[in-house]
Amino acid sequence: MLIRIIGGLMICASSALIGFYLGERGKRRLTELTEFKKSLNVLKAEMEFAKHPLEVAFANTAENTTGATQTFYESAARLLISGTSAADAWQQSALHLKSSSLAAEDAESLSRISSVFTAMDKGAREAAFKMAVDYIDAKTQFLVPENIKMQKMYRGLGILCGLLIVVTLL
């Protein structure tokens, strides 16, 4: 009987932890979107005010970021140094974003900003940066209330599934 109780507690605890883990996924996505927004502002400053070459601007931006965003900029800097065009380096590095907490639609939208590096016109560059920042702002505004709902749902579902399994097994 004691073994059944311990097993039931372990099942409840593990399914609750899975629920909490799934609930945190949205929070990680919000964090990475905010980090990418910050990195875009740093990159824009590196390009416009410091007038650094792109590989240096990408490397400096990577130093000021963390996580998947840092990996993204480090990869882009390496590709630029190896001779890849700026737009191609950006798009190839965007593949790293798909393995992060960002959704595929986020990675796809952020990869479209590669037009910044092919545009000679300062207005077109500013418009592309603004478009990316606006996308992140809109997504963040939408995801904050959605994230709260999803966290509650996943946590509750994890606990309830654990209890359901325990009741079924007893």
pLDDT at site 119: 62
Token duo for residue 27: 């929070």
User: What is the gyration radius of the CA atoms in the chain, in angstroms?
Assistant: 21
Three-state DSSP string of 77-102:
HHHHHCCCCHHHHHHHHHHHHCCCCC
What is d(CA 113, CA 101) in angstroms, rounded to the nearest whole number? 19
Whole-model pTM: value is 0.79
CB burial string 111-136: b at 16+ within 10 A, e below: bebbebbeeeeeeebeebbeebbebb
pLDDT tens sequence for the chain (170 residues): 888 889 888 998 999 999 999 888 888 888 888 998 998 888 888 888 878 788 888 888 889 888 888 888 898 889 888 988 878 888 888 887 777 788 888 878 877 777 666 666 677 777 778 888 888 898 889 988 998 999 999 999 999 998 998 888 87
What is d(CA 128, CA 122) in angstroms, rounded to the nearest whole number? 10
pLDDT at site 117: 65
